[in-house]
Structure 1
């Protein structure tokens, strides 16, 4: 639908003070690839056309984020100015009911060694529909407050963030079709029949390529764990990315992706990636007051890696049996 020429522009401003250096805060806003770990509403974000990280300039990004309980995706063009520590953004392709949206991040030094962050938005609703305006206003207000609070939490971790934040992977070589491996991972609704550690899984789709997953898994000790995630699938890349919405108490964030890459020798490399941010208070609550971050990292690595490796082994078996039968 095309907005009318008389559509009203609505403007919002959200502000927060952060106890961290402005360079640290600006860096977190500028690094789109880290947004799913920093910002709760962001499920996945990627740079389509990058800007120079030192001098700034224009870049094109694509974002998948939750708004009013649904996953929305849009493309934005950003103008980064590292010297002024400002980032202007404008959606190139908006998702209904948004007709247009843009805004600006401003990161300023204030007295006392703290940083003031201002997040501005301007938007128009499709056909100026009053209910759409209210819906957009609620989403912008909720997400802006959540993003600024999360930005403050991440920035104030300081040097500890490098210890709390880590990424790891597990890989298997498959003598089969990349498409068959992808199919196994994509059809998560069949995992209870195919994977021994999955007791129950409910899978729904808002639209093709955006999946909501509610899963119960069994641990080796017999205990059950429930996780809810949003997955974004890219069949043409044979890649699936996901964000866990409800994380264990020891974590503050968990994202991951499945990648299937054909190799030059006719085999396929299937890889599971995990990125985790630990919650120091949650670690002490879950593992005891004397628990160290190193112990928590090792436990998380083992737990997530075991489940991922099990899934990869069964995907490998599925693809190789199909290949042998063809």
Structure 2
């Protein structure tokens, strides 16, 4: 790899919010799925002092990728430097920094720096990475600005639905993981397409039926952890939402069986409330509407997963 094959980029944005508030959003990686559109899921693998190892799952040029990065926090300077520890093809290596610079007591400038090289000498691979970095950097900075400048209380809502299953977590996970079969198994799913180029990292597209008989299309990236968790984020959303993340949690119960929870986190698209629900509808009306619809589908899925694991459905017989 020659030195001139390394590219460096810098993207920046001005934010009308205090530098400390913006830095906090950058520093807390567990909030990234709610803040940054490309980020599907983020975990802190280990932390010691100002250093941490994180793992990210995100979209890049329409594909799903995962990697681990080392990060160093400098709260006094309001910087977070990062370096990918395990990159994914076609990336050969990548690093950079978030830099938050105060402009006044109520505004700041955010710079996002990258340096990277491809895993091959093919110029097309380097161009692909450049396009992904440009697209994601612009998206992330705009999202950071919007989140930091948002007035009022947090507009996210989170809610759970849980069932208990007298069966194995492995069987429940099998039902939830095999989403390519949901058109046959779930009455509210009209069409489904599942891509899994990398094990346990899925792109799921489906048409969901609503109570009035119409359908809407959603596309999600799913991070699957066998027999315990499926985390997902919708990257193509219905009109009433600007954010929808969720997870399926499978937990062993004392005395046998498992508890299975469907958790949703949602942000309402306020610009579409009147168009979808009428002129008299409010944000609260939209939240309740979305919660009812999502919980209804979740409980239907949980009920059929329960039946499958307990041997009643899915073509299985009780032992």
User: Shorter-chain-normalised TM-score: which range?
Assistant: over 0.9
Q: Deviation of residue 9 (structure 1)?
A: 2.4
Instruction: Give the superposition deviation at 1:242.
Output: 0.9
1:122 aligns with 2:115: yes
Q: Is the 8 A contact 1:250 1:285 kept in 2?
A: no
Q: Which of 43, 48, 58 is 2:45 aligned to? A: 48
Q: Helix, strand or coil for the counterpart of 1:12?
A: strand
Aligned length: 316
Query: Pick from 289, 293, 316: which aligns with 1:299?
Result: 289
Distance 1:287-1:22 versus aligned 2 partners, 3 A rule = farther
CA contact (8 A) 1:251 1:283 kept: no
Which of 6, 16, 20 does residue 9 from structure 1 map onto?
6
| Structure 2 unaligned regions, length at least 5 | none
**Alignment partners' CA distance in 1, 2:44 and 2:225:** 15
For the Cα contact (< 8 Å) 1:7–1:127, is it kept in 2? no
Per-residue deviation, 1:85: 1.3
Residues of 2 paired with 1:114 and 1:180: CA distance?
52
Residues 217 and 238 in structure 2, CA contact (< 8 A), matched pair in contact too: no
Name the structure 2 match of 1:140: 133
Indicate the SS of the match to 1:96.
Answer: coil
TM-superposed deviation, 1:23: 2.1
Offset of residue 252 of structure 1: 1.0
Aligned to 1:20: 17
State how far apart, in whole Å, the 1-side matches of 2:303 and 2:141 are: 41
Counterparts of 1:102 and 1:325, CA distance in 2: 53
Does structure 2 conserve the Cα–Cα contact (< 8 Å) formed by 1:9 and 1:124?
A: yes
2:70 aligned residue (63, 73, 77): 77
- TM superposition shift of 1:83: 2.4
CA distance in 1 between counterparts of 2:54 and 2:115 reads: 18
Contact 1:59 1:79 in 2 (8 A): yes
Higher alpha-carbon deviation: 279-288 or 201-210: 279-288
Q: Is the 8 A contact 1:20 1:114 kept in 2?
A: yes
Aligned pairs for 1:1-326 (under 5 A) are 4=1, 6=3, 8-50=5-47, 57-111=50-104, 113-160=106-153, 162=154, 164-235=155-226, 237-321=227-311, 325-326=318-319
RMSD of aligned Cα (Å): 1.8
Contact 1:249 1:282 survives alignment (8 Å): yes
100-109 or 151-160, which moves further after superposition? 151-160
1:129, distance to aligned residue in structure 2 (A):
3.0
Output the TM-score relative to the length of structure 1: 0.91
CA contact (8 A) 1:7 1:128 kept: no
Which runs of 5 or more structure 1 residues have no equivalent in the other structure? Answer: none
Q: What displacement does 1:82 show?
A: 2.1
Distance 2:75 2:282 in 1: 36
Q: TM-score, normalised by structure 2?
A: 0.93
